[in-house]
Structure 1
């Protein structure tokens, strides 16, 4: 009897095939809503369209190593399955209150650990990058938009000053002699940055096996991407200014941006290839798993995943009406409001009206968990992002009894103030994170109070007068809704 199991010896394939088939079906059944939410973002945002390419690239990376992988046999192991248990809990909690960002990361991390547990340490050590590359399936990075917008505006102003072109900056609006330019969300360069990150990681894996070289290359590409986006925005301002806005915007704005991105990536890859390493493929030798490990891994994967799936199906979800109801029949319909642009989709009820003094009121209610839609989500906005930008933002009050104050400015220099807050039961906050935690608490305590959003806004010229009016309007709105109840 041999003392060790050679690599060429094959384990019976039927138990592993059954386990692989069962886990694949179970994973898709449990995480399908989360996977759908990721695909929906890929489909509707050009920033994340690269998500469609991530899985094919990972499969291609595995295919190019097919000769080496043919020497390996699946060796399920229990350690990654144990590490995946907290991810199931995180996913379940995030899914229950529609925090897509967290639930999507948890779903992908769980998939990576599932593959590791199914195929074993040797496979993962050899194919860690194709599996790790799947993290780019998750649409992340939008939180960096405000910072990137500020960096882009700083770069544009600095470059304009270098060529002695007069410019006045008001938040994200750049006033030149003949036009006003906005460093909008689309100008932040996030799409360039994420595409650069994906491509630079792939390039570094294919060309370097020294870690410091890979890290330096990725950091260099990201810095060049940010700088190139600033140069792109600067050139657009110069072209628009010199041509009296005849060139540089419209469809050519889109193509010009990707041309700059192509040039930056071409130069980065050309330079990076000069320092590439030989990267010979070696199969890592590790102990072969035992049948005991196989059984433990199967139990540790199948049972918790099944339990998470069952719990997710028992979560309550209120049916969402096709059209949100109106609470106040005496106020003008939303179509007659001033162009403030607050928008909250779905929901149970929604009212938006303007007083004779020019103060706007907004109020909407949501179930704590709905079949469709949620109060805190990416497409619910407190103002029209295309027409306004935030000059100042602050919080008044304590975290659980607070309201937010936004001072907005538009390209014409008009200033609008918005006071808003989210409410659940007796808790009132302007923090989206805190409100989500409150929703989680109420959901698992089976408390069914409605989730509410309140907002008042005014464009009065004197800031002090406007603030006093809005404070009075805020109390008026609360009292009006309390009376309706």
Structure 2
């Protein structure tokens, strides 16, 4: 038998980055460190979210994945010529402006997105177009450091409820549904936001994008894999919800939910990932040993070259300019009266708050908060709550997670949204008892009355950037459901007696018009 000499694979050969590469990469590392230090509050927010939110825990693995992606490209990258590049500054400016919008409007998503875009822009500026093109996917993958996807929760809740009810009926389990509450003979279940499957869908988007890039070449196969990666966890979550309720039907609610929490937290996502990979495995079309890019296909010379030190200074200068702009407008605030009181409402008189199931909206940072209950002598009883803010800023906002009618981990649980009442967003909720309550909500920001959280953010942004009234007011009207009474009709009569809500908000805030 003849021995055959084999050449060691290229990965085994040492990779040498020249002095210019080390200088450009060192400057990028320094600028990234400076940006993270300048926007340390946003960095802290992101770290807190990654560590404490089960929805975004997968973000912890994004940076190691990006490091691995860059490491895989190291041999080809060493053969490129990194140069500072003027057009990259436009990306930095776009990120800075997005961050400013998020800071002024109180939108964390925009702040986090803007910070990531500034980091990407710094890499493009200081390493140049060829390196940016070669590392296009790792640079793009930085976007998965931005916590996003809460908008999926409501539609996924509805889908999960509908799928679960269909399967329960097919399996012969007697069941009724009311919004997100499913009742069977031996108990009831809430398909809460955490059970909607949104957290796994969000993580699967990041996972599926990585697999589609690493394991496929064909864009058609990549698209098919991504579609499958999004559909499988949604279907699997519906099956999980059905399985939990069916197990409760056969055993007990306590036994079924206890097992579900273990499976849902530790095993479910791993099984879904394994299923997605198993389905897509046979269509993988990328050679594991294939090069990620061909260094010889990058034309020279690079146009719009810049001096490295100058470009680095401009990257940092642009970021500082937007940070300073935000700091300059952060002090805007309206003066409020020292004392405020609930209005006198014609035909209604004040009475004690309900003791059946106490309810208080959650506005912990409001400058003034008022709540009272009114009765009209005809059996109707309606609660009015008003939260007044002299200004809005980070952590002191009119709309946000856990703010409004229901706080996080509250005894009150959202059942479903109801049709609007006089332009106010309406929802129905329940508490142990059971006690049901309907709530209508309006906001007054600037010169606008709205029930839209997006409109609140837009008007807040407008007031911050362009000036105008900084005060913001939330008005909530609520009534418990009682036998023989129509809570919605009682609330409608009360709202009509209140008069124009813009005038009510302005009078309460001490700015009558």
TM value normalised by structure 2: 0.81
1:286 aligned residue = 298
Contact 2:104 2:465 in 1 (8 A): no
Contact 1:333 1:352 in 2 (8 A): no
Give the Cα–Cα distance (whole angstroms) in 1 for the partners of residues 319 and 400 of structure 2: 27
Deviates more, 1:130-139 or 1:202-211: 202-211
2:320 aligned residue = 306
Structure 1 residues 336-347: aligned runs within 5 Å: 338-347=357-366
Give the Cα–Cα distance (whole angstroms) in 1 for the partners of residues 175 and 32 of structure 2: 58
CA shift for structure 1 position 15: 6.9
Contact 2:414 2:429 in 1 (8 A): yes
CA shift for structure 1 position 314: 1.8
The superposition leaves residues 429-483 of structure 1 with CA deviations (integer Å, 9 ceiling, x where unpaired) of 1111112222122223333442111111101433254234432564499759837
Give the Cα–Cα distance (whole angstroms) in 2 for the partners of residues 38 and 243 of structure 1: 41
CA shift for structure 1 position 137: 0.7
Give the Cα–Cα distance (whole angstroms) in 1 for the partners of residues 122 and 282 of structure 2: 37
Contact 1:221 1:268 in 2 (8 A): yes
CA shift for structure 1 position 123: 1.8
Contact 2:101 2:461 in 1 (8 A): yes
2:7 aligned residue = none
Secondary structure at the residue paired with 1:380? coil
Contact 2:353 2:383 in 1 (8 A): no
Give the Cα–Cα distance (whole angstroms) in 1 for the partners of residues 110 and 313 of structure 2: 26
Q: How many residues align?
A: 470
Deviates more, 1:404-413 or 1:172-181: 404-413
CA shift for structure 1 position 341: 4.9
List gaps (5 residues or longer) in structure 1: 1-7, 320-324
CA shift for structure 1 position 202: 2.0
Give the Cα–Cα distance (whole angstroms) in 2 for the partners of residues 14 and 113 of structure 1: 19
Sort the Cα spacing of 1:12 and 1:271 in 2 relative to 1 into closer, same or farther, 3 A.
closer
Contact 2:427 2:440 in 1 (8 A): yes
CA RMSD between the two structures? 3.4
CA shift for structure 1 position 48: 0.6
1:274 is aligned to 2:282: yes
The superposition leaves residues 332-380 of structure 1 with CA deviations (integer Å, 9 ceiling, x where unpaired) of 9999794335211212122233346642221112232336421122121
Give the Cα–Cα distance (whole angstroms) in 2 for the partners of residues 484 and 337 of structure 1: 31
Contact 1:87 1:110 in 2 (8 A): yes
TM value normalised by structure 1: 0.85
Contact 1:419 1:470 in 2 (8 A): no
Contact 1:358 1:458 in 2 (8 A): yes
Sort the Cα spacing of 1:460 and 1:194 in 2 relative to 1 into closer, same or farther, 3 A.
closer
Give the Cα–Cα distance (whole angstroms) in 2 for the partners of residues 18 and 291 of structure 1: 23
CA shift for structure 1 position 93: 2.0
Contact 1:406 1:418 in 2 (8 A): yes
Contact 2:385 2:475 in 1 (8 A): yes
Give the Cα–Cα distance (whole angstroms) in 2 for the partners of residues 36 and 310 of structure 1: 19
1:446 is aligned to 2:453: no
1:191 to 199, 206, 211: 199
Give the Cα–Cα distance (whole angstroms) in 1 for the partners of residues 28 and 509 of structure 2: 57
Give the Cα–Cα distance (whole angstroms) in 1 for the partners of residues 17 and 113 of structure 2: 37
1:235 is aligned to 2:259: no
